Amino acid sequence: MNAQEWKVLNPVGAVDIEDHGGAERFDDFTGKRIGLWWNGKPNGDVFLNEVARRFESRYKGITTVRMWELDPSTTTAYGVTKEQLGLIARCADIVIGGLAD
């Protein structure tokens, strides 16, 4: 009988997680810029357009920024780059993401 040698590998990599704390909370959305991010899945834009309509009817002076119109490359289910995240952060006071199927 031949002896076999096995090597067991652990596929889990070490991850460094930085604590950035919680997001700023708003008592009032009046005059704020609401960024709407969509991952491109079916009907996510329909959902976010309804969210925008409701925010706009409830708060005066609110601006909704549809990221898929501002920069279509941000519409992806595979993750956005650091540069795209920076763009999204600069364009809005708060971001609401729509992940739909």
> pLDDT for 52-93, tens place per residue?
999 999 998 999 999 999 999 999 988 899 999 999 999 999
Flag whether 59 is in a domain. yes
Average pLDDT (14-18) is 83
pLDDT band at 14 (very low <50, low <70, confident <90, very high): confident
pLDDT band at 20 (very low <50, low <70, confident <90, very high): confident
Question: What pLDDT, on a 0 to 100 scale, did the predictor assign at position 1?
Answer: 65
Flag whether 60 is in a domain. yes
Domain that holds residue 44: 33-76+86-98
How many domains are contained in the chain?
1
Q: Read off φ and ψ for residue 34, nearest 5 degrees.
A: -100, 115
Flag whether 13 is in a domain. no
Question: What pLDDT, on a 0 to 100 scale, did the predictor assign at position 21?
Answer: 84
Average pLDDT (23-35) is 88
Flag whether 47 is in a domain. yes
Q: Which residue has the tokens 């031949």?
A: 2
Flag whether 48 is in a domain. yes
pLDDT at 101 over 80: no
Burial 18-42 (b: 16+ CB within 10 A, else e): eeeeeeeeeeebeebebbbbbbbee
